[in-house]
């Protein structure tokens, strides 16, 4: 299933993309695509509904973040061998965990705002994993039982804040609008192999990232299990799993940074596409 949330910011309704391409309202079935509504039991209940009988929503409505009320927005850094190579970083011995602020989360086509004092804003197309069942100290063999589904994420980053302002990475990752997710939450049964998905990102029509989840160092099951050793995972938590090469900071000899007026387009095979206009703060 392809599940989504549509409507104005803060007033999104849960919805399903029907087989005929129409968007159907799930408000009568679940209160939101959040928390307990992401459990296997809830998803099975949705699966059993004839979507054509549900109220149709306008295709012109804004698409919001595909998960509501996200408790934790967890990220895995340097998780693609070819991306680590382009940045000159060694291959991590264990997954690198950092956090994005949940206030960074926006819809897939909302504007990305360059923050005040920004010098090096950058892009990163990533596969995000949405948790559907609480996970605590789980084995890798059981990890996928705790996954509700997947979505596209743009892990927008400010490299000057991230690497040159002291401390940890979080300050360059959690700025407002730096976490577009969606358009859809695609349930795990529709993704046969999360380690074999093509992914890409363009800025102003130029393709910078053209990779695959094949080059992940630590796969989805390992990442979910690993994170659960350090913190419990609750339904609705989002883990974004790293980016392939082609980020702005990796371009030689001169890095390329986002600027107001740019348009980012990105997507992952089977998970849909995003488009974001880039604006300056206050513009």
- What domains, with CATH codes, occur in the chain? 2-57 (no CATH), 73-280 (3.90.850.10)
- Six token digits for residue 132: 């559907």
Comparing C-alpha atoms, which of 160, 37, 171, 162 is closest to residue 104?
171
Q: What is the C-alpha to C-alpha distance for residues 152 and 181, in angstroms, rounded to an integer?
A: 6
Q: What is the C-alpha to C-alpha distance for residues 144 and 253, in angstroms, rounded to an integer?
A: 41
Indicate whether this model's pTM tops 0.75. yes
Q: Walk along the chain (283 residues) and give the pLDDT tens digit of each residue.
A: 999 999 999 999 999 999 999 999 999 999 999 999 999 999 999 999 999 999 999 999 999 999 999 999 999 998 998 877 777 778 899 999 999 999 999 999 999 999 999 999 999 999 999 999 999 999 999 999 999 999 999 999 999 998 878 778 889 999 999 999 999 999 999 999 999 999 999 999 999 999 999 999 999 999 999 999 999 999 999 999 999 999 999 998 999 999 999 999 999 999 999 999 999 998 8
CB 177, CB 103: distance < 8 Å: no
| Residue 148 CB partners (closer than 8 Å, separation 6+) | 38, 39, 40, 43, 130, 131, 132, 133, 185, 187, 188, 235
Comparing C-alpha atoms, which of 6, 5, 216 is closest to residue 130?
5
């Amino acid at each position: 299933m392809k599940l989504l949330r549509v409507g104005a910011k803060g007033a999104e309704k849960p919805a399903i993309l029907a087989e005929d391409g129409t968007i159907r309202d799930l408000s009568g079935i679940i209160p939101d695509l959040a928390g307990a509504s992401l459990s296997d039991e809830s998803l099975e209940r949705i699966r059993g509904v004839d979507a054509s009988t549900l109220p149709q929503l306008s295709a012109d409505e804004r698409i919001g973040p595909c998960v509501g009320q996200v408790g934790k927005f967890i990220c895995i850094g340097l998780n693609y061998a070819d991306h680590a190579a382009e940045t000159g970083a060694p291959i991590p011995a264990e997954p690198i965990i950092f956090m994005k602020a949940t206030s960074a989360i926006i819809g897939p086509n909302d504007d990305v705002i360059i923050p005040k004092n920004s010098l090096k804003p950058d892009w990163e197309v990533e596969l995000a994993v949405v948790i559907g069942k609480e996970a605590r100290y789980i084995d890798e063999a059981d990890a996928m039982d705790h996954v509700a589904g997947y979505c596209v994420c743009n892990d927008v980053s400010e490299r000057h804040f991230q690497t040159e302002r002291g401390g940890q990475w979080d300050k360059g990752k959690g700025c407002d609008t730096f976490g577009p997710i969606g358009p859809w939450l695609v349930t795990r049964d529709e993704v046969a192999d999360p380690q074999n998905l093509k992914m890409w990102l363009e800025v102003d029509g130029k393709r910078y990232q053209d990779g695959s989840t094949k080059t992940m160092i630590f796969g989805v099951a390992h990442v979910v299990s690993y994170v659960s050793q350090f913190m419990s995972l609750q339904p609705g938590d989002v883990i974004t799993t790293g980016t392939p090469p082609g980020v702005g900071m990796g371009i030689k000899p001169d890095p390329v940074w986002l600027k107001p007026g740019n348009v980012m387009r990105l997507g992952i095979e089977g998970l849909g596409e995003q488009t974001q206009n880039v604006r300056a703060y206050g513009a």
